[in-house]
Amino acid sequence: MRIGIGHDSHRLTPGGPLRLGGIDIPHDKAMLGHSDADVLLHAVTDAVLGAAALGDIGQMFPDTEEANRGRDSAEMLAAAWKQVTAAGWRLANLDCTVLAERPKIGPHRETIRGRLAQILGCLPEAISVKAKTGEGVGPIGREETIAAECAVLLERE
């Protein structure tokens, strides 16, 4: 078995919608990044690659390559997951935390779980998505950024 940890954060900019967990959430802000800036999918990608000792998202999809500008993070996670499964690993479970003052993640939790399960080819029951606010403190609390953290457990096929 292998454990991987992923983390990502992106600044917020006026305009929406907010791309998170592979879905668009109605919001007055969007995340700023080279790709579609989906912090949750970026954190999951780093976690699964790390657990399988296959590098990280920056190695697979460098932000210096024009082909990655505006790229769909679901496509990046799917490509990483393909490498992970080709190396003989399968998902035991994935535990994710989104750190955002707004929007509320609860109403979108099940849709995000379903989208992650679709990308990773597993049941939604293997995936947990939680959310925490910044309690008005720091860049998350001031709604300047959104971050995501996750832990994944992989097991040999």
Domain ranges of the chain: 2-156
* CATH code, 2-156: 3.30.1330.50
The pLDDT assigned to 26 comes to 96
Pairing relationship of beta strands 23-25 and 18-20 according to DSSP bridges = antiparallel
- Whole-angstrom CA distances from 110 to 77, 89, 107, 116, 123 are 19, 25, 8, 10, 12
The pLDDT assigned to 63 comes to 87
The pLDDT assigned to 78 comes to 98
Cα(16)–Cα(18) distance, integer angstroms: 5
The pTM of this model reads 0.96
Q: What is the pLDDT along the chain (157 residues), one digit of tens a residue?
A: 999 999 999 999 999 999 999 999 999 999 999 899 999 999 999 999 999 999 999 999 998 888 888 899 999 999 999 999 999 999 999 999 999 999 999 999 999 999 999 999 999 999 999 999 999 999 999 999 999 999 999 999 8
Q: Is 98 helix (H, G, I), strand (E, B) or coil?
A: strand
Cα(80)–Cα(86) distance, integer angstroms: 10
The pLDDT assigned to 69 comes to 87
Q: Is 113 helix (H, G, I), strand (E, B) or coil?
A: helix
Using alpha carbons, select from 131, 115, 15 the residue that is nearest to residue 75.
115
Structural tokens at position 45: 């990608």
